[in-house]
Structure 1
């Protein structure tokens, strides 16, 4: 009963806010707009301190975890909009897409309809990528090609209903009701998750509560520009589900050398927590990435060092060790 009351309250709030914000309706001519875009990515990866063989020794983060030449994904996005309503079909193919969709909707990265109730309220229903975290499934939206532990352990997708409110020029609010986290095709057990995001001046506080899945996650993403050529991104998260969860933080300093080349670093601290373990394992990961762009093609060479509190990797001599050094170079084309 509480879950259905929450959904009803959300819908009532959306309609009430939209009615307050909507002035006299404009009788403009119908405007139809169709856009088609996407990306393709591939990479080469090699361990520097561990074997490169069928065992696939790699950091325990999503994507970019194969040795030698490997594929990312092909991402094809079609968007159609007519006046206040529209739809998005975001299809993805390849290993990255399979990992991101948890098999159950392999080719559907996002699939949703939207309704702009007013210029300050947008309603979206369907499957969409998560609003939590600093990084994205598509490599086009990330500076580093490999992904963080925070991104890997948080949600990837939501299927449900969300409302985006523009409260002022700098302030925004998101409210949503979803299926259990990363359950994409339908609701198998009648459980729901609720979430919210408050944004101010490009700084975002994100909250998700999913008692049947992830539990409670509180996440902050943001950043600022100390100078015209320097940017510092910030991500911090805490998740708990009956004593099981994680917490950590990551910094993303980036320096623009010229219009074609940017050098960036991701420094991350990540800890898993469990009531069953006295000494929670942690890892510090340092990732140095260069980003060279020519037209619509971006080349990203990347060095990464993962250092754990326990011996979770092996050396070239097949001895257990706490650290792993690796290198990759990725090519990302967007159209």
Structure 2
């Protein structure tokens, strides 16, 4: 009997050791597609569906296929986040193939180092539509940055308080090595879901003193109502230009399968030649069809007396409708 017990204990120990040595491998991702239409005649399409502006004009369009491979063993791990399609192509210069590619090392329970290309810590919205309530993106998101290539250190001081420091290539450089000795510094501090973000340095577009400031946060005002906030400011003395703006995310959950959200936004560009501004109101529904499939009907109204609506330079306003499907796995 003792031999049987001893054998079972040894077998259990060997199995646990083998599992620990093997590590953990996971695969996840998203696929999104949509139909969009501008309600004005003879115009190019809806705004904000893709990063650069109009995207597919008045018709059916593809977002991106996003597959994330991750492997962790002990204190270290790697993430290969691959993305293909128009939405991915607009987000980086690798033709959408690499969204993120990095290794990380957990030096302690509180400190993690990450080296490679990772999505930005800056701003409220993210590249993958599965991480956003609205399907179309905001002007603040379009202003970037989208991703960074470099080294960052995350420090979790407590469950509520965190810090991040980063040294990266200029964010405008996403393909190949940094051709200069100019870099970008990043900083983030977070407290109970409220984050202050800062980036300073070269932007990769010819300017070396660009300052980015950003506040991202939100509050549960009730069991069903959430208020999200994104406010940002950027300026470069070399370029004599910058931007500033604010977006609110008002979201109410009516049931487990239906939520409705309104995103009002004000965005202004500043330069030596003059300022220009635009306002946008986006009303989106989130309908959970299955555990993995989300349907997003959306109507959006953009207005600018300065005619700076992307893709519609001759228009002072745009009203567009979009119907999107986002599948997560």
Same topology, TM > 0.5: yes
Candidates 296, 320, 325, aligned match of 1:326? 320
* Correspondence for 2:159: 169
Unaligned segments of structure 2, at least 5 residues: 1-16
Once the two structures are TM-superposed, the CA of residue 216 in structure 1 deviates from its matched residue by: 0.4
Partners of 2:128 and 2:296 lie apart in 1 by 14
Q: Tell me the TM-score normalised to structure 1 length.
A: 0.85
Candidates 52, 55, 64, aligned match of 1:73? 64
* Correspondence for 1:265: 262
RMSD: 2.2
CA change 1:159–1:311 in 2 (3 A) is closer
Q: How does 1:3-152 map to 2 (within 5 A)?
A: 30=21, 32-51=23-42, 55-56=44-45, 58=47, 62=51, 65-67=55-57, 68-101=59-92, 103-104=93-94, 106-152=96-142
**Contact 2:46–2:321, Cα closer than 8 Å, also in 1:** no
* Correspondence for 1:15: none
Candidates 252, 257, 263, aligned match of 1:255? 252
Greater radius of gyration (CA) = 2
**Contact 1:307–1:324, Cα closer than 8 Å, also in 2:** yes
Q: Tell me the TM-score normalised to structure 2 length.
A: 0.87
Q: How does 1:238-317 map to 2 (within 5 A)?
A: 238-242=233-237, 243-277=240-274, 280-295=275-290, 296-312=292-308
Once the two structures are TM-superposed, the CA of residue 105 in structure 1 deviates from its matched residue by: 5.1
Partners of 1:302 and 1:269 lie apart in 2 by 19
CA change 1:272–1:182 in 2 (3 A) is same
Partners of 1:150 and 1:57 lie apart in 2 by 17
* Correspondence for 2:191: 200
Unaligned segments of structure 1, at least 5 residues: 1-26
Structure 2 residue matching 1:151: 3-state secondary structure: helix
**Contact 2:234–2:243, Cα closer than 8 Å, also in 1:** yes
Once the two structures are TM-superposed, the CA of residue 263 in structure 1 deviates from its matched residue by: 0.1
Once the two structures are TM-superposed, the CA of residue 276 in structure 1 deviates from its matched residue by: 2.3
Once the two structures are TM-superposed, the CA of residue 313 in structure 1 deviates from its matched residue by: 6.2
CA change 1:164–1:322 in 2 (3 A) is same
Once the two structures are TM-superposed, the CA of residue 29 in structure 1 deviates from its matched residue by: 5.2
Partners of 1:319 and 1:123 lie apart in 2 by 44
**Contact 1:111–1:126, Cα closer than 8 Å, also in 2:** yes
Q: How many residues align?
A: 301
Structure 2 residue matching 1:118: 3-state secondary structure: coil
Once the two structures are TM-superposed, the CA of residue 57 in structure 1 deviates from its matched residue by: 6.3
Once the two structures are TM-superposed, the CA of residue 30 in structure 1 deviates from its matched residue by: 3.8
**Contact 2:46–2:320, Cα closer than 8 Å, also in 1:** no
**Contact 2:309–2:315, Cα closer than 8 Å, also in 1:** yes
CA change 1:292–1:283 in 2 (3 A) is same
CA change 1:60–1:270 in 2 (3 A) is farther
Q: Do residues 234 (structure 1) and 234 (structure 2) align?
A: no
